[in-house]
Structure 1
């Protein structure tokens, strides 16, 4: 076993195995607590280093560590990365090759396996628990622990069965980890896993390298294309609410010259596997996907995430945007939303067969998401509030901080909208209501005699965009709703609309205005910890290192980022080490990678530098 033959100190393992000079934030206390045999719940944002909290104790404590994960892609990436640093790790899941599964099981029985990644279904079946009972175990880690909670956004009923672990393996410490859990979900995780006495380690959910932005839908394809122009040659994910939409949007992007692929559960398995392989290979792809895509994929250089449909909770939103910027470099996010989206989400929730208690919680989370889209103050602060965290100042890296929205008293105009909806019998959509308010004698307005209404033309002094924006925001306020089962007609929600019509409630709303078009790309490292050390990066050296890494990764059939992240290559290109000892000082270069790749890296640097600058160590 690794721990018996090498290192016994957590700081040594961190440095020599993983190449990190020291722990960050809550990592060290969490590691020490688990090392001492205690249970822990660890909450850290994506890219915050959650895996270190169980991987380091796994390599120091005696026995095999069992990591439960619902994500096959994550298990495969983690195993590949651990093998790169000299750790004997394996995974058991439904897509594993039978010969590989037999080899891993043999290593487990012979106590040669340091970490075993396993799906909850595989853990609880196939005799796995019985085999584990006959070997020494270092710890159990439950990754993506929000899946155990009925209040979480990705509830997995089989996760509840993990509550059996302490009965079958008394005395083996457990650590549950997640990047997305509000206070209610945190408590439910502890209760469901029978970890009520566990120590909770919470890091800030703030991701300074993520730029948050949201905008009402005007023309989503045009808005998306404008956004993507700033990210040509970069990798990103575009999320859609339906399978058909992913295919339609991917085709449009391909037409416009973007390398786009659709991805959803209904695709042919071979096509899905090919798309995943291309995504993990480092290609600068735009993946247009349903929300399942990206879960557990450790690709660190995803530079943007776009939502063309609104997520159903802040937790789901945070999880999905968290797939961008895992390397700490700046990444952009954009959420496009509309009144129809809000109404449809409310309708689906109302039709859900979930128990009433769960529907109440889901409704609360949906309304938090709606409020987040219409926020007029710092959007990051609004998001963090959903997780029980208070940011003590404005973030400075969201759209509302960069261009504070204008707020207006729209009480009178809101009364006009509600009156027009009521007087047209609450069966017409937004376009018809806007035409009535602006006094436009459309065919529909004339046919129904709505040009004779008292509300006809009362809003002629405002543009159609103003009225459409106000209607959307009245839907968000629940004063209006949409008949999603009919023809999309607007109708009044009496309890919320009546006080506005009577003038008892003032309506202060954000005034939509064009956002300044950002044609620049943010500098790498701005607001992040990934600033290259040692000086400016030599672009040609950096590119040469990337080409070497790509060839090496293809030869091993692994993703390039499990060899070295881009940030490591940038630091190497900036520091230009001339000996193995100097290369060993670069963050992310541990002993195993130094032995495996050190002379190759120095060779690449030597070839790219003037003669005489390199000296072999």
Structure 2
């Protein structure tokens, strides 16, 4: 076992690196300059935390938000790591402890906001403090075109040159243009840092979009199906965050609002609540973004369309960072599309930047109006090939489509015959033959297109126009108050050179994604008991619950049911320090709950089948970890073991009929289960 592997297991409690982490960790530990693009929740922080523990000196971490820094410091300290942060929220005692750690060389990680680099004498202090490397989180903040631009990030490059130490930059949001800007501003024009572009897929996140159809109700329904689970609702306006938070509160949820117009103390209070409370829902603008380090967010909903596909990807990526199942829902409508187009057109960016921004919005709208697997389309935008995922709304329920070529040509004709001067409502009145005062006053009831679409109702035409905007066939004209104008992409359809397929009545598809259980039904009571114990410890220590153990760790405890501290040590996320502090406490919960949880076993008590049930359980526990303890554990439900104990199958074919014994489980446990039956 290498030094890095030993630290990974001893301190962090992980048996192996996540895909893509090892190379980055080794490069950072080896003193290389690094730029790593990793998905949100892909384990970026470990890539600079672990190297900080292998070598000597202090790693300086530049991070954008106080809440993020404090959370990471608490989590590191809970694992026995000497870490500290210099923030405006520190008490005098906290700051004094950080300065002492820097002075005596015991501090391994020092977190600091970029704004602190502007304070007088900070560079001199850092030069004298044995800084070994600089790690930059959310490195895209150095890009002046990004909505997350932080001017003080521009000082980091100067600091690196002054200290003469390697730098590792990390972000989840960086297209090719932004990556080039990061390299230039943080590393220098002629620098060639080693770049890692890791897979963007987050297979545990369920992707879903829905056209707006009573959006408040849609959000309330989505939240109600996930009651008690922490979530974020992103909103386009400050007023909507407050309105939705109030509606959720009235519906019985613990909910609060968060936006940039709030006082800093009020925002900080929300951040603290979200970190500590298990089931809080935060309705927020994108101001609640960077720095959200809570690993067990179970769902993210967008009440309004995000600004770009990069923004969408980053925001949904805040769900399920622990690897457990998480859900998303993004609502959108024609008003969202008009707003986003207008924001781009009326902005101050140069034409080439506006064109790029329209392209990013087009990618997001294409994802919203996709006809096939959303994950295939999303990953394709980031340059990755994928197969249909089976974990998005379109894989769950493939949409019904229709040949919309004729309908789109009718709509385009109506736009052109009215000189591209009118919006969707007036155009639908023309197409459906509705002789409103506005239609008659302008003589539009005499147009050849008047009434040509009366075979379809208003709702159908609203869906057609929305999808035309989503496909960028038409755009709202900012100078004409949102009037639709045709784009070049529509010309082949209008001329009869190309056809188009659209989703039928997409607006009417009201069913939201069904929340998935974190564990099997029989393990749910134990998981609840483990969470209750975690909550009690967290409240007693004044730390967020996930600082004790992440959801993923408790899920594994509930599924594998360790019977000793040695077995507890093999649970992912249980490092040496946490095993010493919490292992015995959680072991009592596991063993105590396990006795109460197996009515199938109690039914067999005093009978020969009971002893066979126990042998089957022992065989399963022996094999669930795999040979080296690193495989993802498999386990069978108690009713599966009870069925085997009652029927005593004598062949693999007979065993395969056991309820819940899937092919992978049969392959893993089949022979051992038959041996246990033979022993009896």
Of 182, 191, 194, 1:189 maps to: 182
- Does 1:568 pair with 2:553? yes
Of 241, 244, 254, 2:239 maps to: 244
Of 113, 116, 121, 1:119 maps to: 113
- Does structure 2 conserve the Cα–Cα contact (< 8 Å) formed by 1:43 and 1:180? yes
Match of 1:528 in 2: none
Of 462, 465, 469, 2:459 maps to: 465
Match of 1:324 in 2: 319
Structure of greater Rg: 2
- Partners of 2:438 and 2:243 in 1: how far apart? 31
1:47-446 equivalences in 2 (<5 Å): 47-150=41-144, 152-170=146-164, 172-194=165-187, 196-391=191-386, 393-424=387-418, 426-442=420-436, 444-445=438-439
User: CA-to-partner distance for each residue in 1:232-269, whole Å, 9 max, x for gaps?
Assistant: 22221111111111112222333333332111011244
- Partners of 2:313 and 2:352 in 1: how far apart? 23
Residue 305 of structure 2 aligns to a residue whose secondary structure is coil
Match of 2:474 in 1: 480
Q: Give the helix-richer structure, 1 or 2.
A: 2
Residue 434 of structure 2 aligns to a residue whose secondary structure is coil
Match of 1:591 in 2: 576
**How many aligned residue pairs are there?**
594
Of 521, 540, 560, 2:515 maps to: 521
- Does structure 2 conserve the Cα–Cα contact (< 8 Å) formed by 1:240 and 1:288? yes
Q: Say if 1:379 and 1:14 are closer, same or farther in 2 by CA, change over 3 A.
A: same
- Partners of 2:441 and 2:523 in 1: how far apart? 69
Of 550, 555, 569, 2:535 maps to: 550
Match of 2:667 in 1: none
Of 11, 30, 36, 1:36 maps to: 30
- Partners of 1:249 and 1:429 in 2: how far apart? 29
Question: Offset at 1:496?
Answer: 5.1
User: CA-to-partner distance for each residue in 1:269-327, whole Å, 9 max, x for gaps?
Assistant: 44323322221113312211101214222222212111122222221111100011111
Question: Offset at 1:493?
Answer: 3.3
Residue 302 of structure 1 aligns to a residue whose secondary structure is coil
TM-score normalized by structure 2?
A: 0.81
- Does structure 2 conserve the Cα–Cα contact (< 8 Å) formed by 1:182 and 1:386? no
Gaps of 5+ in 2: 597-613, 615-680
- Does structure 2 conserve the Cα–Cα contact (< 8 Å) formed by 1:26 and 1:202? no
Q: Say if 1:362 and 1:436 are closer, same or farther in 2 by CA, change over 3 A.
A: closer
Of 482, 485, 491, 2:484 maps to: 491
- Does structure 1 conserve the Cα–Cα contact (< 8 Å) formed by 2:475 and 2:487? no
Residue 298 of structure 2 aligns to a residue whose secondary structure is strand
- Partners of 1:156 and 1:364 in 2: how far apart? 24
Question: Offset at 1:231?
Answer: 1.4
Gaps of 5+ in 1: 1-6, 526-531
- Partners of 1:187 and 1:251 in 2: how far apart? 43
- Partners of 2:152 and 2:525 in 1: how far apart? 50
TM-score normalized by structure 1?
A: 0.89
Q: Between 76-85 and 266-275, report the one with greater CA deviation.
A: 266-275
CA RMSD of aligned residues (A): 2.7
- Does structure 2 conserve the Cα–Cα contact (< 8 Å) formed by 1:405 and 1:512? no
- Does structure 2 conserve the Cα–Cα contact (< 8 Å) formed by 1:43 and 1:177? yes
User: Which portions of structure 1, spanning 4 or more consecutive aligned residues, are displaced by more than 6 angstroms?
Assistant: none
